[in-house]
Amino acid sequence: MIRIELSRWPEARGEAMRVRERVFVAEQGVPAELELDEHDPSCVHALARDEAGRVVGTGRLLPAHAHGARVVSHVGRMAVLKEWRGRGVGGALLARLIEAARARGDTEIVLSAQTHAQGFYRAHGFFEEGEAFLEAGIPHRTMRRVLD
C-alpha cells in the first residue's frame, strides 16, 4: 500500500532529494547542480511512502500562473525508485498532484515529459504539444492536461 503525502520543501527536501538524486543523477546522468533549483521552495511536494514509511517516489507542483482566464500550473521532478516502477506509484503521485492543482483552482497542468514516459502521461489525460527538445541532455516533450 502506497501513501501519498503533500508537504513543503523544508519537510520534503531530504527524502525528495534522495529519490531525485538516485533517479536523475545516478541513473540518468543529470548533472547534480541542475537537480536542485530555485523553484523547490515555492512548490508543493508529493512524497510516496511504502508500508514501512520509506519514500519511494516524489514529484512537485509549481505555483500556478494566470494566462487570461486560464490558471496554468506545472508538474515536475516526477521520480520513482527503479524497484518501485510499474507498481502504480507514479500514477498515485500524479493523481495527488492533479488533485492539489484542481483544489487550488488551477485549470490546466503542463509538464516536460521525458519522451520515453509520454505513454504514461497520455494514460493520465495529458496530450503532447510542440516538438521534442533536450533538457539536461534528455529528450523531452511538453504535455498538457485541461482540468475539469
At 67-93, the pLDDT tens digits run 888 999 999 999 999 999 999 999 999
- Which residues make beta-bridge pairs with 126? none
The predicted model gives 12-37 an average pLDDT of 92
Between 6 and 33, the more confident residue is 6
The predicted model gives 5-15 an average pLDDT of 97
Tell me which residue of 62, 49, 59, 143 sits closest to 101, measured CA to CA.
62
What is the predicted pLDDT for the residue at 1?
87
The predicted model gives 40-64 an average pLDDT of 97
Between 41 and 69, the more confident residue is 41
* Cα(57)–Cα(78) distance, integer angstroms: 8
Tell me which residue of 82, 86, 93 sits closest to 119, measured CA to CA.
86
Tell me which residue of 81, 87, 88 sits closest to 124, measured CA to CA.
88
At 100-140, the pLDDT tens digits run 999 999 999 999 999 999 999 999 999 999 999 998 889 99
Percentage, residues of the chain above pLDDT 90? 89
What is the predicted pLDDT for the residue at 31?
87
Tell me which residue of 67, 72, 69, 84 sits closest to 27, measured CA to CA.
84
